[in-house]
Amino acid sequence: MALLRRPLLLLLLIVTHQFLQFRIAFGSVNEEGQKQEEFYEELLLKPLPDRKLLTHFHFQSSAPPSTSNGRHHHLFPKAISQLVLKFQVKEMELSFTQGRWNYESWGGFDPIPSSNAKPPGVELWAVFDAPQHLIDALWKNLTHTLSGLFCASINFLESSTAYSAPEWSFPPASGKLRYGTLPREAVCTENLTPWLKLLPCRDKAGISMLLDRPSIYRGFYHSQRLHLTSTGSGSEGMDPGIILEQTLTVVLQPDSQRASLAHASEKHIQPSWSLSSIFGKQISGRCVLAETSSVYFLLDKGLVAELEHIHKENEKSEENVLISEKFWNNPSFELSAKPDRIFIEESSLLSKNASVLYKFEIEKYGESEPFDLGLFWKTPVVWLCQQAPLHANRFLMGSGNERGAIAISLKSTQSSEGFMGSNSNDERCELRVDVFQVVPWYVKVYFHSLQVFVDQQPKAVSDIIEKIHVSPSKDKVSPGVMELVLTLPCSVSSAVLTIEFDKGFLHIDEYPPDANQGFDIPSAIEKSPVMSYTEVLLVPLTTPDFSMPYNVITITCTVFALYFGSLLNALRRRVAEEERFLKDKAAKKMDRIPLLLSKLSAKLRGRHLEGPQAPPASSSFINSKSVLKVILIAGLAVYWQYYFS
């Protein structure tokens, strides 16, 4: 039994310890004898306070800098390597998420939620290692490539209205970072399958065998993430090394039927589970291509403290059961397999409150003896997950479809005094909060209307906001971006930011098919210093009548044609002339035949002869002009006649 004391962050521990282990070289050796491509697979299981179970799959492939990257790979997915080379990606993260991470009950301060809790839908950010003027083009091509690679509509992030360039909310990239989200993207198995194809064993062997689609998508939250970093090549002509991390976080509700049968009286007991009961499968051996393949079972701080408390009450012994010899069968719970190692988080303040991590090596198990970890709770336990110092919520204010306001509320969870203490000065304790908010252009935000309320008291914006960066939205061109750095006193219990907006009106083609459902405002990001995402907001926009284009066009055009015609008519009408014309017409009605005769005779006598019969008084009716016209037509007729005969 090895007891290791490791630094604070568990994830760091998970990642670093692997490098200490003995490496078995699967995959062929590079001809220059350099580092080889490596693959690790891990699974973390963690019971959550609200009778749920967090399962976190972690796969890591890495390709060292080499000259053959993008052409030949042993383990590393070629598609990713080519993508990195072609689009000069320095760092990229793509996540597909369904459901919302429940920060209140699932915790917000552990390394797993802070890096894996993602906003619903698709989120993509990428840092490029290219000149500034090329970045937008690279981003567009990258979105199309990823869209094809993952069978998702990531290509909608191509449009300049969909992505933004945050300045300081993400890893500093001096304007080379692009960020975009698609909150309404439905995530399902067609996105998971291409994601699994990037693994060397796919879902045929090793931990990924557990990925049974129906059980995953039955969960409350699932988020598949792909994070890649390219490390600069050491020498010229070498392609950069790439580290690809793929994680899948699923929150499941174990089927508690068995538990309820066994302990009908105990309603508050946590549901017991095993891998086979939640996934319907067991791990029958590891992926042979993986360097290491391990399963971890994590009991977090609060749970450990609670368990020890229960144990002390019962047994009155000083010994810590959780790390004693018979820990897997202690009075509170029973593990079905014996762990190979136990890690205890090192905590400088209170050694009691340390989370415990059990490690199970998969190498030992095989087809004949599949690995199936089970947990059987014996006594009811109630605990709380560790919270981030602030809990962020976001909501809309106002009614109607003309204007509204977005409010971001930050509530102190009062649960991390230790963290606050570490950040405080002697006199003033301050909490630094970064807020990053993207709004689509049709939500026209008035940045001057930003108001800050601390503990329900309005505060001057300049007192609270240390730094602000705003890029206003441009209609149909770019979204509005707001980045804030707030400094709040540690004693704050709540802070609310409100900002007003007007709702825009779109062209009929710009509405999605179900326009009355509303439009999504992507999650805001709050970092204090753990990153957390707020809810996606649904903004209903006014819709025009989609069935009306023809009616509107014809009615409007008719009205304007009426205007044009009637105004021209009014301008050219001559009342007096009309009156006389009518009078003349009445007078001439009788002698129409003589008139015709006179015309005929005029025509017959030639052009020079004007109708002498025509009375001079009626010059307005038969004047020289009309006679000329008649003559001209007659001449034409005669010419026509001659020409054809």
Partner 1 sequence: MSSYAGSMYHGSPLLLSLLGPLTVKRIEGQPNHLLYSLVSVIADVVSAMLIRATGQNLRLAYLRSLESLDLVKQIDVSEFLCSGDIAALIYLCNPFTIVACVGLSTSPIENMAVILCLYGACSRLIPLAAFGWVIATHLSLYPAILIIPVIFLLGCGPDSPPRKLFLQRHQQKEVLNQSKLPPGFSWRPIIHFAFWAFLWSVYVLVLCGISLKQFGGLWEMFKSTYGFILTVEDLSPNIGVLWYFFAEVFEFFRNFFLIVFHVNILFMILPLAIRLRHRPCYLAFVYVAICSMLKSYPSVGDSALYLGLLGWFVNELADMQFSLFLFCGYVGVSLLSPVMHNLWIWRGTGNANFYFTTAMVYACLQIVLVVEGVSAMLNHDRKLRILITGKPQDAKS
Summarize as ranges the residues that interact with partner 1 (CB under 8 A): 399-402, 441, 444, 446, 471-476, 480, 504-509, 542-545, 548-549, 552-553, 555-556, 559-560, 562-564, 566-568, 570-577, 579-580, 620
Least distance to partner 1, CB of residue 623, Å: 12
Residue type, 176: K
DSSP result, 525-544: EEESSSEEE-PPEEE-----
**Beta carbons within 8 Å of 570's beta carbon, 6+ residues apart:** none
CA dihedral 584, 585, 590, 591 (to 10 degrees): 70
Q: Which is nearer to partner 1, 543 or 626 (CB)?
A: 543
Neighbours of 608 (CB within 10 A): 6
Least distance to partner 1, CB of residue 594, Å: 25
Q: Which is nearer to partner 1, 79 or 165 (CB)?
A: 165
DSSP result, 581-607: HHHHHHHHTTTHHHHHHHHHHHHHH-S
Q: Which is nearer to partner 1, 491 or 620 (CB)?
A: 620
Q: How many angstroms separate the CA atoms of 399 and 503, rounded?
A: 11
Two tokens, residue 348: 């400088």
Least distance to partner 1, CB of residue 392, Å: 25
Q: Which is nearer to partner 1, 189 or 619 (CB)?
A: 619
Q: How many angstroms separate the CA atoms of 592 and 602, rounded?
A: 15
Sole residue written with tokens 């947990």:
375
Least distance to partner 1, CB of residue 148, Å: 27
Q: Is the peptide bond before 49 cis (omega within 30 degrees of 0)?
A: no
Q: Which is nearer to partner 1, 417 or 579 (CB)?
A: 579
Least distance to partner 1, CB of residue 474, Å: 5
Least distance to partner 1, CB of residue 523, Å: 22
Q: Which is nearer to partner 1, 571 or 593 (CB)?
A: 571
Least distance to partner 1, CB of residue 547, Å: 10
Q: What is the DSSP letter of 445?
A: E
Q: Which is nearer to partner 1, 399 or 457 (CB)?
A: 399
Least distance to partner 1, CB of residue 519, Å: 15
Q: Which is nearer to partner 1, 19 or 560 (CB)?
A: 560
174: left (phi over 0), alpha (psi -120 to 50) or beta: left
Least distance to partner 1, CB of residue 620, Å: 7
Q: Which of 450, 440, 457 is nearest to 408 (CA)?
A: 450
Q: Which is nearer to partner 1, 562 or 596 (CB)?
A: 562
**E-strand stretches of 75-146:** 89-98, 121-128
Q: Which is nearer to partner 1, 2 or 617 (CB)?
A: 617
Least distance to partner 1, CB of residue 433, Å: 24
Least distance to partner 1, CB of residue 9, Å: 40
Q: Which is nearer to partner 1, 572 or 608 (CB)?
A: 572
Least distance to partner 1, CB of residue 556, Å: 5
Two tokens, residue 104: 């209140």
Q: Which is nearer to partner 1, 149 or 506 (CB)?
A: 506
DSSP result, 242-301: EEEEEEEEEEE----HHHHHHTSS-SSSPPPEEHHHHHS--B-S--TT-SEEEEEEEE-H
Two tokens, residue 555: 């009615």
Neighbours of 117 (CB within 10 A): 24
Spatial contact of 622 and 591, defined as CB atoms under 8 Å apart: no
554: left (phi over 0), alpha (psi -120 to 50) or beta: alpha
Task: Classify residue 447 by burial, with Cβ atoms within 10 Å: 0-12, 13-18, 19+.
Answer: middle
Sole residue written with tokens 């989370």:
355
Least distance to partner 1, CB of residue 472, Å: 3
Phi and psi of 296, rounded to 5°?
-115, 145
Q: How many angstroms separate the CA atoms of 156 and 386, rounded?
A: 37
Q: Which is nearer to partner 1, 265 or 399 (CB)?
A: 399
